[in-house]
Amino acid sequence: MHRVRFSVRENRLTSVALSERDYAIAIEETGRGWVIELQVRIVAFAVGNAVNGSIWALFVEPGNEGQGYGRRLHDIMVSWLWEQGHDLLWLTTEPGTRAERFYIEAGWKRAGRALDGEVRFELERPRGASLFEQRP
Give the residue extent of every domain in the chain. Answer: 2-124
Percent of the chain topping pLDDT 70:
80
| Category of 112 on φ-ψ map: left (φ > 0), alpha (ψ -120 to 50) or beta | left
pLDDT at 14: 45
- What is the pLDDT confidence band of residue 128, given thresholds at 50, 70 and 90? low
Residue 29, pLDDT > 70, answer: yes
pTM exceeds cut of 0.75: yes
Of 129 and 75, more confident: 75
Residue 17, pLDDT > 80, answer: no
pLDDT tens-digit readout, 1-14? 555 555 555 554 44
Residues in the chain: 136
Percent of residues in the chain assigned helix, strand, coil, to nearest 5: 30, 30, 40
**Which neighbouring-strand residues pair with 122?**
90, 109
pLDDT at 23: 74
Query: How far is C-alpha 128 from the chain's CA centre?
Result: 24
- What is the pLDDT confidence band of residue 136, given thresholds at 50, 70 and 90? very low
Q: Please state the rounded mean pLDDT for residues 28-40.
A: 93
Instruction: Calculate the average pLDDT of the chain.
Output: 84
What is the rounded distance in angstroms from the CA atom of residue 127 to the CA atom of residue 94?
29
State in Å, rounded, how far the first CA of the chain is from the last one: 27
DSSP 16: -
Q: Give me the torsion for CA of 96, 100, 105, 111, rounded to 10°.
A: -110
Domain 2-124 in this protein, CATH class: alpha beta
pLDDT tens-digit readout, 60-86? 888 888 899 999 999 999 999 999 999
